[in-house]
Amino acid sequence: MSSISSVNERTKANNPNKLNFSKQEKVDMMNDIMTQNVIEIKNLVKHYKGFSLNNISFSVPMGSIMGFVGENGAGKTTTIKAILDLIHVDQGEVSIMGTAAKNLSKELKSLIGVVFDGSNLHDNLTVVNINAIMKKIYPNWDEEVYKSYLKKFQLPEGKIIKDFSRGMKMKLSITIALSHHSKLLILDEATSGLDPIIRDEILDIFLEFIQDEEHTILLSSHIISDIEKIADYVTFIHQGNIVFSKSKDELIYQHGVIRCRKEDVSAIDKSYIVGIRENNFGAEVMIQDKDRFTRKNHEFNVERTSIEEIMLFITRGKELK
Amino acid sequence: MLGLILKDFINLKKNFKIFGALILLYGFMAFAMESSSYFSSMFTLVFAMLILSTYSYDEMVKWDGYALTMPITKNNIVQGKYITMLMLTVLGFIISGISLVVINTILNVDNLFGGIQVSALGAALVILFYSITIPFITKLGIEKARFIFIIVYMVPFFLGFMGYKAIKEQGLQPPVKLIEFFEFCIDHAYIIIPVIVLIALMLSYSISIRIYQKKEF
């Protein structure tokens, strides 16, 4: 998994005697590291009665936080289950750290921390019991790290999990995911149903985790504000299809909103329009390729937008005739 | 896999306490009835029922899907359950043996060997019962599989009862060869029963593994 060493090995393989690298070579090496994908999904298809994942493809670059967004039932959890090999896919390939998800070794699995929506820990257990169990499950379990997070999150030792609040259960699941030197965190709705203060606290932990450039997070959520706060990339899934998978900044930079009168909408070049919302006061038009549009159309004032707005315009914006 | 077995035993901690109370109750009944074999036969059977609780606990929190994201394979999960089942059965057998010694000493009777025989037979029956039911639990989940337990319990009982009734009504005498066969089986029970149990266990395990591999979470 160690990408830096693998890049070094590759460079050495090309020129085995070389020990010193030029500045440009170092930049290339760093780029190589940054463009390595920790998760790669290609043409994933899974059919259920009444729902399908249709040819899903996207990848999560190393060292980044990928926000995986979409409405309830859009296919986020199904995709995550496919990544974790918990379901059998009909078509397509999923690889984690360069290995097919189906063939992940125990060593690689021990580098992945997973948090699902809701607690998967038994009601009768205490945090002390969990430490004893996980010590036997994870070869790389770090008791000290576990205890430090318990302290940080103020999780009591004596109480059984049944008496924990939802927030406490979530914090415990996150603690487990962080206590075995994970390099990849896969979090499915890990912040949903929590109050804003706890959510903020948890997001800070994720930002701390990502400081290590070999660490990567895939965070699914329908709370877009969380994604906007921490994600580097955003993948948007809608009714089993990937609508986009792009850098967050690029998305915000490339899109914009024009607020105008309803009759002015017809003057906007249709090829730029992503969606239109009309109300009593006028119309709001989401456009793409903002730079080119503003160069050509000086008469419109294009306002800055957000990921949430982009998603809403795409899914609920009036269809163009 | 050790972690999975440990998880099951920690989860059963509360049940063990209840069983401690049950041991006392049965012990008292055995004492009152002045018979220890009742105690031994009941105890091994009831103790092994605990494995069903571990399935319920796991299902309640969707443990399997979570566990499979850890360095645990699907086979490990199935293996863990079979080992927990066997450990519980052996534990039940040992505790019932110890209790028999205690009761026999208190009652001042010498029925120890008979009691242990009954316990061992109970243990064999328990393993046989789970060899049939675990593949069903693996396939259907514990809630739906409960109906299967009733069938597994009732069908042999019902068939035996009907067979006995039919034979009795017709006044048939069993053929000598059949009686001889049964006598042979009883004489060699110490070999035959373990062999049957082992074969059933191995078959059951390989079926469960196959079912579990196809499961989705």
Last residue of a domain, one of A202, A228, A248: A248
B12-31 burial, b for 16+ CB within 10 Å, e for fewer? beebeeebeeebeebbeebe
Where residue A235 falls among pLDDT bands split at 50, 70, 90? very high
Minimum CA–CA partner of A173 in chain B = B66
- A-chain residues near B74 (CB < 8 A): none
Domain co-membership, A83 together with A232: yes
What distances in angstroms separate CA A234 from CA A66, A186, A237, A319, B5, one per listed residue? 6, 14, 10, 23, 40
Domain co-membership, A26 together with A94: no
Percent of chain A whose pLDDT exceeds 70: 88
Question: What's the structural domain count of chain A?
Answer: 3
Domain co-membership, A70 together with A146: yes
A321 assigned to some structural domain: no
- B-chain residues near A107 (CB < 8 A): 71
**A27: pLDDT strictly greater than 70:** no
CA distance A152 to A131: 16
Domain co-membership, A184 together with A279: no
Domain co-membership, A241 together with A270: no
The size of the A-B interface in CB pairs under 8 A is: 79
Mean pLDDT calculated for residue range B36-45: 66
Domain co-membership, A103 together with A178: yes
- B-chain residues near A143 (CB < 8 A): none
| Full domain range(s) for residue A259 | 255-316
Domain co-membership, A228 together with A304: no
- CB atoms B63 and A133 under 8 Å: no
Where residue A321 falls among pLDDT bands split at 50, 70, 90? very low
Domain co-membership, A131 together with A277: no
A66 assigned to some structural domain: yes
Query: How does pLDDT run across A113-135, given as a tens digit for each residue?
Result: 999 988 899 999 999 999 999 99
A132 assigned to some structural domain: yes
In this prediction the ipTM stands at: 0.84
- CB atoms B70 and A133 under 8 Å: no
Domain ranges across chain B: 2-214
Last residue of a domain, one of A248, A267, A292: A248
CA distance A7 to A1: 11
Strand partners, A41: A58, A94
Domain co-membership, A56 together with A19: no
Question: CATH number for the domain including A146?
Answer: 3.40.50.300
**CA-angle at A99, arms to A95 and A102, nearest 5°:** 70
| Nearest residue to A161 via CA among A169, A150, A153, A173 | A169
A222 assigned to some structural domain: yes
Domain co-membership, A165 together with A194: yes
Last residue of a domain, one of A229, A248, A267: A248
Domain co-membership, A109 together with A217: yes
**B107: pLDDT strictly greater than 80:** no
- B-chain residues near A132 (CB < 8 A): 6, 10
Domain co-membership, A218 together with A267: no
A267 assigned to some structural domain: yes
